[in-house]
Amino acid sequence: MNVIEVELKRYEKKYFKILKNFTLPAEQEQFTALPIELLRENLEEKHDQHGIVILSDHEPVGFFVLHSSDRVKEYTDNPNAMLLAALSINYSQQGKGFAQKGMKQLKSFIKKEFPACNEVVLAVNHKNIPAQQLYKKVGFKDTGRRKIGKIGEQLILSLTV
């Protein structure tokens, strides 16, 4: 049986071609953003937003953004926290455990790449049960805080790094 290796890497332009072709079904797209939407914002020029690629066999299968911007203050009072946003796994790659394997590496990745960070927060829609289950499986805890997003109530989850 092949063990599929997954790693997290900072976004580089060499990943753009694959990331721009990511697709998601409509029921998932309502909860997140496709990588191309975020990369159009010239993410690499923003020093407080960090594109992170989930790689399998050195090929992008997933993507998310870590924010150290003022947006983080909407979710926590911790000045050393980062906000995880817009996690997506390319539809053709879903069901292979990439999201879970990638998120399980989040703590060690952050300790290495962002040593000042000691907490990751995120908002997940109350209707997005698969995402809630994923985040809780990898150690995120419900803070009890809620936020109203574009399509309803969001749970604020936290991961201690």
- C-alpha to C-alpha distance for 93 and 71, rounded to whole angstroms: 30
The reported pLDDT for the residue numbered 44 is: 63
Q: Are 143 and 92 in contact (CB under 8 A)?
A: no
Q: What is the pLDDT of residues 25-36, one digit of tens each?
A: 888 887 888 888
Q: Which range among 33-37, 47-51, 63-67, 155-159 shows the weakest confidence by mean pLDDT?
A: 33-37
Mean pLDDT of 10-33: 89
Check if the beta carbon of residue 100 is closer than 8 Å to that of residue 139.
no
Distance CA 39, CA 16 (A): 8
Give me 147's structure tokens.
């936020």
Q: What is the mean pLDDT of residues 88-114?
A: 96
Q: Using an 8 Å Cβ cutoff, are 66 and 46 in contact?
A: no
Asked if residue 63 lies in contact with residue 86, where contact means CB atoms within 8 angstroms, the answer is yes
Domains and their CATH numbers in the chain: 6-160 (3.40.630.30)
What is the reported pLDDT for 67? 94
Residue 147 and residue 139 in contact, taking contact as beta carbons nearer than 8 Å: no
Q: How far from 117 is each of 9, 42, 68, 123, 133, CA to CA, in Å?
A: 17, 23, 9, 18, 24
If you average pLDDT over residues 67-72, what whole number do you get?
Answer: 92
pLDDT at 1 over 50: no
